[in-house]
A and B are shown apart, each in its own frame.
Chain A
Amino acid sequence: MTTEKMTLERLRAVIESYGASATRWPETERAAAAALLAESAEARALATEAAPLDALLDAVPAVAPTSAMRAAILAGAPRAKARRGDGWRTFIGELGGWRLAGGVLAASLVLGIVSGGWLSLGQTTEASSPDLLQLAQLDDSLTEY
């Protein structure tokens, strides 16, 4: 790629507008300006003359944002609206996703059936204990009066 040559007049205009630092010059003209600076003492004098104003401008410090300010700004940021079914999705997610949740639910079902059967068996055994039978019989005998 060839770089179009820059005239001293154009370099003067660039420096008067953007200052002495090449980083602020128009991107498309930087290479041509650098080439002119390299070969012309007059061009270098233009840059040297503009540098003090740049340094003075750089003396004005930037106000930096605080973390409290950042937090306040983010507190006002938009939030996604909760969709129907999001509650279930969150619940399933907390259970470890659909596969793991399915396993957990199946295990719960089996445990429920087994423990239900066991409890009802236990109640039958309890009800047939001699003390309870006696109480029941007492009750029967009372209804006769």
Chain B
Amino acid sequence: MAFGRPAGGPAEDPDLDLVRRAGAGDGPACAALVDRHLARITALAGRMLGNRADAEDVAQEVFLRVWLQAAKWRAGEARFSTWLHRVTLNLCHDRLRRRREVTLEAAGDPPSGEPPPGADLQQAAVAARVQAALAQLPERQRDAVLLCHYQELGNIEAAGVLGVSIEALESLLSRGRKRLRELLITEASDLMGDLR
């Protein structure tokens, strides 16, 4: 099983030196670590949660954990970026669970149709439909699609983040994409037209 083992082994973790220096309180190393990962982590949280405010909160929480962990980081267990993605997904899952509890209590609509910020109207409508479809996927399938499609993690690293084998990752991905096609297929040509 390919669990948490990056290609080339954890000794080749490209973040290892920065993490160690950040743990020792080296300011430029902390800044470099943030610049290297903040955009991807914020993007992942944004796509998981569907809004900027929650994405920013999660990204800040992720880095609080980075600062706590950096001084005691042990090489060889997982790549730093694998751990970072895992922490981000866990924090997003917690928020989505709390959101579901609140939604059930309030018996309101799920917040999935909200158009993402920063896009024009048509594109925003398409994005909102796709985001809603992603939100309907079972948790593990959505995680797999987000990690491989948007985060562009290699299959070994994505499998490591999810703690599954490559075969299991591919099964999650193909079922996830199949479900997305079913959810979007009736409107696919309209949506594609909106994108042109």
Contact = CB atoms under 8 A, between A and B. Distances in A.
Interface of A: 13, 16-19, 23-24, 26-27, 50, 52-57, 59-66, 69-70, 72-74, 76-81
B4 interface: no
Contacts of B43: 62-64
Interface string B135-162: 0000000000100111010110000000
A85 B17 CA distance: 27
B13 interface: no
Contacts of A27: 7, 154
B195 A79 contact: no
Classify the interface of chain B: helix, strand, loop or mixed: helix
25 contacts: A17-B177, A19-B149, A19-B177, A26-B166, A52-B188, A53-B177, A53-B180, A53-B188, A54-B149, A56-B180, A59-B123, A59-B195, A60-B116, A61-B116, A63-B47, A63-B52, A63-B118, A64-B39, A73-B59, A74-B34, A77-B22, A78-B24, A78-B30, A79-B25, A80-B25
B158 to A, nearest CB: 10
A19 B118 CA distance: 26
Interface residues of B, number: 59
A65 B152 contact: no
A89 to B, nearest CB: 16
Given A16-B178, A24-B148, A60-B130, A78 B34 contact: no
A13 B170 contact: yes
B155 A59 contact: no
Contacts of A55: 192, 195
Contacts of B181: 53
Given A59-B127, A61-B127, A62-B39, A72 B30 contact: no
Nearest to B60: A73
B130 A59 contact: yes
Contact of B24 (A56, A65, A80): A80
B30 A60 contact: no
A50 B70 CA distance: 41
A18 B145 CA distance: 8
A63 B45 contact: yes
A57 to B, nearest CB: 5
Contacts of A78: 22-25, 30, 67, 70-71
B174 interface: yes
Given A17-B173, A63-B52, A63-B55, A77 B192 contact: no
Contacts of B130: 56-57, 59-60
Contacts of A62: 39, 42-43, 46-47, 150
A102 B60 CA distance: 47
Nearest to B176: A17
Contacts of B178: 16
Given A61-B123, A79-B27, 19 more contacts: A18-B148, A24-B152, A50-B177, A55-B192, A56-B180, A56-B192, A59-B126, A60-B127, A61-B119, A62-B42, A63-B42, A63-B45, A64-B42, A65-B42, A70-B34, A74-B27, A74-B31, A77-B30, A78-B71
